[in-house]
Amino acid sequence: MADIADPGHPTASDLDAFADEARVFLDAHAVRRNGSASFEWGRGSDYVGFFGDPRGDDAADVAAARAWQRVRQANGFGWITGPTAYGGRELSSLHDFTYDLIEAEYDAPDTEVLSVIGLGMVGPTILTHGSDYLRERYLPAMYRGDVVACQLFSEPAAGSDLAAVKTRAVRDGDAWVVNGQKVWTSGAHYSEIGELLCRTDAEAPKHRGITAFVLDMSLPGVTVRPLRQMTGGAEFNEVFLDDVRVPDSHRLGEVNGGWQVAVTTLMNERGTVAADSGGVAAAAIQPDRLHALMRHLGRAEDPVARQELAALATDVLAARALTHRATRRLQSGMAPGPEGSIAKLCFSANLARAANFATDLLGHRILADSGEWGTFSWNQLLLAAPALRILGGTEEIMKNIIAERVLGLPKEAAK
């Protein structure tokens, strides 16, 4: 198995030189944001949500993300930690983190449609468990933006209990015939490949009878249907697999060894979701935006509203301090601690509190779009907030991880 390269803890001078290189690249290809700019009521877009704006254009967003990823890769910033054999630079995770911080200072295209699942989860899994053939075929293309990947894990009857997958793969010569259904598949409608988990031994214990594959989404028998969310968007899909022939050359890991492949993906998922606690949603829960809403509604001097805002602001600052602690651990060369799981819980809790607080302030304005700037737009965050309690590991799972592996509490009794 191959691992992402880690040349050790870089020196301060190494990172400074890399940061200078990154800024030269970004100055040439993007516009630096005005760091002094603050939120101003009535200016710009008033969209507030966790998922993409349902009024947006998925195809245009994906095209922009692909184009920017190609530019990054061509200049040495597309896969900073990856092996040079597949287009990477074999630098440390701290170099990668440094670049992300610097790019955030620029108005660059959002590559979340590529990075969260494909480059953040599936790519590292192919690198770890894929054959030389799979790594050579897909990794350069993925980190160049030519191939987008999705994750085909969840099923209608196997969500949190991932080992209970029922999609069947039956060996037929040098191929596997796959039948089943996957659900809640983000980005399946614009993905070229998917990481697929199948049941290959019905008699084995459920964790030991699973095999993983790289699925070409254009194969005959693959049907993708969008799932309309209550936000109005359709980022998720259900995927039907009817007699799909997957070549054995596209198998990840050993036959019936798919659980270890899945664990690799899920470990990357935890870190990716925690690191992705930003964007429009994070900006929305900043106290200045909520205070501006209070002023607009004539509630700026309401003592109850002010107390609630102060409590939320305190928790937002605490979550930010936790993120800074994780950053300092990484900078000092220490292994990641439990901050990722805790940060994910804090972010989802703060997101829900902000959405509910805005709803209490807005009242009927959040029910229908009157065209009034900055009011009905909070409807998107209110409808999306519950999702973060589920995606990337449910809150119950994350709390169990913290309780058992961090606090050392006894495991929950088996039912």
Give tens-digit pLDDT for 191-202: 999 999 999 999
Domain ranges for the chain: 12-34+41-116+130-146, 150-256, 277-406
State the sign of the Cα–Cα–Cα–Cα dihedral 381, 386, 387, 388.
Answer: positive
For residue 5, name the pLDDT band (cuts at 50, 70, 90). Answer: very low
Kindly report the CA angle at 115 between 112 and 118, in degrees rounded to 5? 125
Positions marked active-site: 269
> Structurally, what CATH architecture does the domain formed by 277-406 represent?
Up-down Bundle (1.20)
d(CA 19, CA 254): 40
What CATH homologous superfamily does 150-256 map to? Butyryl-CoA Dehydrogenase, subunit A, domain 2 (2.40.110.10)
Give the pLDDT confidence of 19-46 residue by residue, as tens digits.
999 999 999 999 998 765 567 899 888 8
For residue 294, name the pLDDT band (cuts at 50, 70, 90). Answer: very high
d(CA 106, CA 29): 10
pLDDT of residue 1: 39
Give the pLDDT confidence of 357-408 residue by residue, as tens digits.
999 999 999 999 999 999 999 999 999 888 878 776 678 877 887 888 788 8
Query: Is residue 230 exposed (0-12), middle (13-18) or buried (19+ Cβ within 10 Å)?
Result: exposed
Is domain 12-34+41-116+130-146 in CATH 1.10.10, yes or no? no
Query: Coil, helix or strand for 331?
Result: helix
